[in-house]
Amino acid sequence: MFYRSSYHSMKDLCNGLEKEGYIQSKSVYNALMQVDRADFAPRFPYQDSPQPINYNVTISAPHMHAYCLELLKNYLFPGGRALDVGFGSGYLTVAMSKMMGDKGTVVGIEHIKQLCDFANGNICKHHKNLLDKDKIILIEGDGRLGCKQLGPYNCIHVGAASKELPTNLIDQLVEGGRLVVPVGGQNEGQYINIIDKGRNGKITIRKELSVRYVPLTSVKNQLKGYY
C-alpha cells in the first residue's frame, strides 16, 4: 500500500484520496470534508496511516475510512439507521452521520469506557448537535453482540477483525442491508468481507481487500499487555 505523508489539511487529504482512487463519489468526498480528522487523531491527523489512540487500538488510515464509506454509501441514506462497532475515536461514526445528511441515526458501540469518553469529547468539539439530537448514540458495550435493542440496521460497519463471520451482527441487519467487516485471526490473513442480506433474508458474502486490523475481542484480551 502506498502512503503519503505530505497532506496538511482535510482538503489536501481528500483530494489525495480521490486522486488515488479511494474516494470515488461526491457523497463520500463531501462527508469526509465535513469531519476534520484533527479532532479525532492526536498525532499526524492528515497522514494516510493508522494512528494510535491508546488501549491497543488505532484510528484507521484515512484511505480505509474512505474505502468503507464507498462500500456503504448506498445504505447510508436520510432516515436510515446504521451501527458502527468499535467506534474508537468516533471519527467514522460522524462521517457515517454526514453521509445520511444528519437525518438518520448512527449507533456506535465500544467496550472500552475511556474510548467512549474520548470519542464523546472528540465529537463534541464540532458535532455536539448530533449527540444532543440522538443522531449519534454512543453505547458502552460488547460490539460482538451488536446493539439489538436499537436495531435493526440498514448497514453495519465493524472497525476490528472478527475471527469468524459475526452472526449476531448479521441477524441485526434489515433485509436489503449490508455489513462490512474484516474477518480473520490476528496471525492469519484478514480480508474485508461484504455481507449482504437479500430481501428474502438470503445471505451473500464477498471477500475483498486484504487488511490488518486489531481483533474484535473481549476487554480483557484487548488490554492484555497494555498496563
Residue 56 structural domain: 10-223
Best CA proximity match to 104, nearest among 132, 82, 75, 80: 80
Is 20 part of a structural domain of the chain?
yes
The CATH number assigned to the domain holding 37 equals 3.40.50.150
Percent of the chain with pLDDT over 70: 96
pTM: 0.93
Give the pLDDT of residue 5: 54
Split at pLDDT 50, 70, 90, the class of 6 is low
| Over residues 23-45, mean pLDDT | 97
3-class DSSP state for residue 166? Answer: coil
Is 176 part of a structural domain of the chain?
yes
**Number of domains forming the structure of the chain:** 1
CA distance 150 to 220: 26
Tell me, yes or no, if 60 is annotated catalytic: yes
CA distance 14 to 89: 19
Is 203 part of a structural domain of the chain?
yes
pLDDT at 173 over 70: yes
Is 4 part of a structural domain of the chain?
no
Is 217 part of a structural domain of the chain?
yes
Lowest mean pLDDT among 31-40, 91-100, 115-124, 198-207: 198-207
pLDDT at 171 over 90: yes
Split at pLDDT 50, 70, 90, the class of 226 is very low
Is 3 part of a structural domain of the chain?
no
Is 97 part of a structural domain of the chain?
yes
| Over residues 69-95, mean pLDDT | 97
Strand residues in the chain grouped as ranges (E): 51-52, 58-59, 81-85, 105-110, 136-140, 153-158, 173-183, 190-197, 203-211
Annotated active-site residue in 60, 89, 97, 162: 60
Q: Which CA distances in Å does 53 have to 56, 90, 224?
A: 8, 11, 16
Is 2 part of a structural domain of the chain?
no
